[in-house]
Structure 1
Amino acid sequence: MFYSNESELENNLPAINEFYTNTLKKAYLSTAAGKLFYAYAKPKQAHTAIVISSGRIEGLDKYKELLWELYCNNFAVFIVDHQGQGRSYRLLKNPHKGHIKQFEDYSHDLNQFNLEVVKQHWQGKKLLLSHSMGGAIAFDYLARYSHDFSGAFLSAPMFDIHTKGIPKPVAQFIAASASLLGFSGCYALGQSDYTPEEFALNTLTSSQIRYDQFRATYQQTPLLQLGGVTYGWLHTVFSFIKALDKLSITTPLFIASAENDEVVDNQAQHKLASRHKNTLIKQFKGTKHELFFERDEIRQPLLTSLYKFCDSIG
């Protein structure tokens, strides 16, 4: 397998940008609420399609390196920017506000993307790959819709969140009350417009080159920027988390858990894995939240696990 390395990343940027510009086919998918930006690419020797459900504040532009790498390894790749993110439509007048009316809207969009785009261009083996909020969306989708995915690889899935010093019951009460009182579209306490953190302070990755490239991309294209979450987003996410125990799937899962995650709560990942017999869970040591954007010594074993899991699921 080919692995993209930090030491060669700068030299590979022309090839990655060439892939993004000329190989990836990009378009918009019309939904009842707005247009979703998506892209796909199929190498001639493609054996499996990987459909990506990205995390919050993420989208196609952030995943260029991974998409290029997967394509070089003969995977067909499909990715859609979730509503309110990336180049897809935003729900509120202030495009920086992370907002959703109900969590199920995300999985409804993913189902439409699979039916109208993925199935149109690919009829073979498929794997659903996700990160963080995208993992929660992927699980919700697999539980609610009939599908033909052979398995799902979930990186640091958002099955619960850290509330940064505020007890979770208090955070849940505040989010529910604010939404009930008509403040669902307001920033939750402590949230604001997009503000990039210095690398030394970030909780996402310990790879400086990948972090710097992510921030540079968003600096160059302000359209991609997304700030904090609203009370409405928070309330609907808490509602999803509470309903997780009622959702069940039979699709094989691989959960990649980040040891030093400060964004999502790893305990919820182990709890879900314990009640799904077809689920593997592996903790990656020394890892921050964004495993696909970590240092090579973490990222390569993660991708090796992805490839082995893909081989194991038929």
Structure 2
Amino acid sequence: MQKIKQSWLRREKAFASFATGPLLDFWHRREECEFTGVGNLTLRYVRFTSPQHHRVILIVPGRIESYIKYPELAYDLFHCGFDVVIIDHRGQGRSDRLLEDSHRGHVVDFNDYVDDLETLYLKEIVSGHYQQRYALAHSMGGAILALFLARQPRAFHAVALAAPMFGITLPLPPFLAHRILDWAEKMPALRDGYALGTGRWRAHPFGINQLTHSRERYQRNLRFYADDPAIRVGGPTYHWVREGVQAGRSIISQVNNITTPMLLMQASEDRVVDNRSQDLFCEAMAAAGHPCEGVTPYVIEGARHEILFETDAMRAQALNAVVDFFARHV
């Protein structure tokens, strides 16, 4: 494991050769699978397994993401001795879409995401008879996982959340944004339309991105979407935003039920989710008697929203924290 950990600190220097060599070979070993989610939607996921592994990590991606974006993370965790399972949420990636315009990020009920995750957990994680079960979630995936843990706090031995979406950074003052969301909810033609200031997917140059400082990882991820139009997702609908806001409130209200050992990693330069909501969550968890690791968020200084796709130093800091945390909970 030490060898793979050391590689995390020097990968960007030869990223192209890594991506077209060892990483591509690893990706060819994947198993692409599917299951039926809420409303009979077909949901896809990918897994990497070895008969030598007795531990598993379920990866829960963020909004618009696909497992196609996650080979590097899967590679690193697999070589640390974990089987890896990654879901494509409803409405994105290779899973079924909900609206005719496939670029619209939409969900009917946020709990549909949670129900889907529970179905995959029962199908793939429990049936695998693993000695240790872990989960790692990013952004929207963090909100989904937290709601799942409120239902099943003993499902995993430990979990890690990277920049979880417990609150959304809105372009308007909250009181005004919430009024607009409530107003749009009453108008079907508007509620399922793109939220203010958003639209169909388009490629943004690295220089204006708010996700990562890593040019190599950003450009690689951009190519996935540029080369495969079927996985593109643009802005969220008004209804999705409303559901996301309500999900954050629901998570805070259910902290008494979330007793799973948890590491919450916060990006200090996040402009996508509201870091204050993560602080509030950690305070509420501590008040409930089962604090997050370190009581407060583990801050990755200098990191933007996509901590797991940041430059080598910040990404290695986060990955080491995750792997070491999981090692303490067996």
Scaled to the shorter chain, the TM-score interval is over 0.9
Q: Which amino acid aligns with 1:289?
A: H
Moved more, 33-42 or 104-113: 33-42
Task: Work out whether 1:152 is the aligned partner of 2:168.
Answer: no
Aligned to 2:27: 20
Among 61, 71, 77, the residue aligned to 2:78: 71
Using the alignment, how far apart are the partners of 1:75 and 1:151 within structure 2? Answer: 14
Q: Partners of 2:152 and 2:101 in 1: how far apart?
A: 32
Q: 1:68–1:292: structure 2 CA closer, same or farther, 3 Å change rule? A: same
Aligned to 2:315: 299
Question: Partners in 2 of 1:114 and 1:203 — Cα distance?
Answer: 32
Q: Deviations over 1:208-267 (max 9, x none)?
A: 000000001111111111000001101111211222321121111100000000000111
2:35 match: secondary structure:
strand
Q: State how far apart, in whole Å, the 2-side matches of 1:191 and 1:264 are.
A: 16
Match of 2:136 in 1: 129
> Structure 1 residue 119: deviation in Å?
2.1
SS in 2 for 1:121: coil
Secondary structure, counterpart of 1:58 in structure 2: coil
SS of the residue corresponding to residue 70 of structure 2 reads helix
Any idea what SS the aligned residue of 1:275 has? helix
- Corresponding residue of 2:178: 172
5+ residue gaps in structure 2?
A: none
Greater alpha carbon shift after TM alignment, 248-257 vs 7-16: 7-16
The aligned amino acid for 1:278 is P
Mapped to 2, the partners of 1:242 and 1:310 lie a distance apart of 28
Work out the number of aligned pairs and report it.
Answer: 312
Cα pair distance change 1:147/1:93, threshold 3 Å: farther
Q: Which amino acid in 1 is paired with 2:271? A: E
> Which residue pairs with 1:309 in the alignment?
325
**Structure 1 segment 214-293 matched on structure 2, within 5 A:** 214-248=221-255, 249-276=258-285, 277-280=290-293, 281-293=297-309
Instruction: Indicate yes or no: 2:42 matched with 1:35.
Output: yes
How far has the Cα of 1:313 moved from its partner?
Answer: 1.3
Does 1:181 pair with 2:197? no
8 Å Cα contact 1:49-1:122 kept in structure 2: no
Hey, what's the Cα distance between the residues in 1 that align with 2:229 and 2:272? 24
CA shift digits 1:27-76 (9 cap, x unpaired): 11122421111111123432421100000111210001111111122111
Q: Segments of 4+ in structure 1 off by > 4 A?
A: none
For the 8 Å contact 1:95–1:226, the answer to whether it is kept is yes
Q: Structure 1 residues 116-125 or 283-292, which shifts more?
A: 116-125
- Give the secondary-structure state (helix, strand or coil) at the position aligned to 2:318: helix
RMSD: 1.3
Equivalent residue letter for 1:297: A
- Counterparts of 2:202 and 2:175 in 1: how far apart (Å)? 28
Shift of 1:147: 4.5
Structure 1 letter corresponding to 2:320: T
Question: Greater shift after overlay, 119-128 or 265-274?
Answer: 119-128
SS of alignment partner, residue 191 of structure 2? coil
Q: Which residue of 1 aligns with 2:215?
A: 208
State which drifts further: 101-110 or 36-45. 36-45
- Partner SS state of residue 70, structure 1: helix
What does residue range 45-124 of structure 1 map to in structure 2 within 5 Å?
Answer: 45-124=52-131
How far did 1:144 drift?
2.1
Larger displacement relative to structure 2 (63-72 or 146-155): 146-155
Q: What is the alpha-carbon distance in structure 1 between the residues aligned to residue 322 and residue 250 of structure 2?
A: 28
Q: Any idea what SS the aligned residue of 2:27 has? A: helix
Give the AA of the match of 1:109: D
The residue identity in structure 2 corresponding to 1:229 is P
For 2:180, the aligned partner's letter is: I
Pairwise CA distance, 1:176: 1.6
- Residue 151 of structure 1 contacts residue 253 of structure 1 at CA under 8 Å; is this kept in 2? yes
Q: Distance in 2 between matches of 1:216 and 1:245?
A: 37
Residue in 1 aligned with 2:15?
Answer: 9
% identical equivalent positions = 32
